[in-house]
Amino acid sequence: MNICKMPFTPREIEVLPLVISAPRFSTYLRARGGDIEEALRLYRWNLEVSSALLVALQLCEVSVRNSIATAIENTYGPSWPWNRGFQISLKTSRHGYSPRCNLIDLAKRAPATSKIVAELKFIFWEQMFTARHDQAIWNRQLKIVFPNCDCTNTVQQLRTYGLKELNKIRVLRNRIAHHEPILENNIQQEYERIRLMIAWTNDTTAEWLDKIERVRHLIGQMP
C-alpha cells in the first residue's frame, strides 16, 4: 500500500500544519507550491522514510562501533577505556567535541567496557578514523576488524574513506534525530552508504538488512 496516497480528513488538513508549526511546515509547503494537502503527504513521507532509515542506522552504528572497539582492544587490551596511553592518543579540545573528555568522563563512572562502548557518542567512533591512530591501531587492525573492505586500497585510503562516510552518516542521523527534513537527500545513496559500512564488518548482516528494510520501497512512494 502506498501510504502517501492515503487521504487526510478536513480536520487533519486544518490541524496538522498548526501542530507541525509554521516554520517547520513551510519547507514542505514550498516544495509543493503551497498546496497544504500535498505538503502533508510529503511530510508524512519524510516521517516514514526517516523512521525506516533508523533501522539501517542502528545496525550501522552497532556494527561499526563494535569493530572499532575490537581494534582498540586488540591494541590496548580489554580495559582500554582506562588505559592512559589510549586516552592520551585521543584528541582533546576546549571548544566543541573532545573524544578524550568523552571517554575519560565515562570511564570515571561506567563499570564496564561494554557499558562505555554503548554510551560513547557516534562522533567518537567517527573520529577514531583520523590519521592520529594509524600507527598504533589501523596499520595492523583495519583489515582485520573490517574484513570485507576493499583490500586493493591502502589502509590510509580505507581509513580516510571510512572517516568521510561516517561523517555523512552521522549528519544524516542527526537530521533525523532532530526531526529535520531529508527531502533533498539522495535516499538511495544514503542507504547504500550505510549498507556498505555494515558490510565492511559483516556481509551477512548487510544482506539481512536488505531483507528487512523499507527504505528502498518508500523511495518510490515520494509524493
pLDDT per position as a tens digit, 169-198:
999 999 999 999 999 999 999 999 999 999
Question: 3-state DSSP call for residue 36?
Answer: helix
pLDDT of 3 strictly over 70: no
Burial 138-174 (b: 16+ CB within 10 A, else e): beebbbebbeebeeeeebeebbebbeebbebbbebbe
Q: What is the pLDDT of residue 93?
A: 83
Can you give the pLDDT at residue 90? 97
**Segment 20-24 mean pLDDT:** 94
pLDDT for residue 94 is more than 90: no
Mean pLDDT across the chain, nearest whole number? 95
Of 50, 51, 56, 102, the closest CA to residue 81 belongs to 102
pTM recorded for the entire structure: 0.93
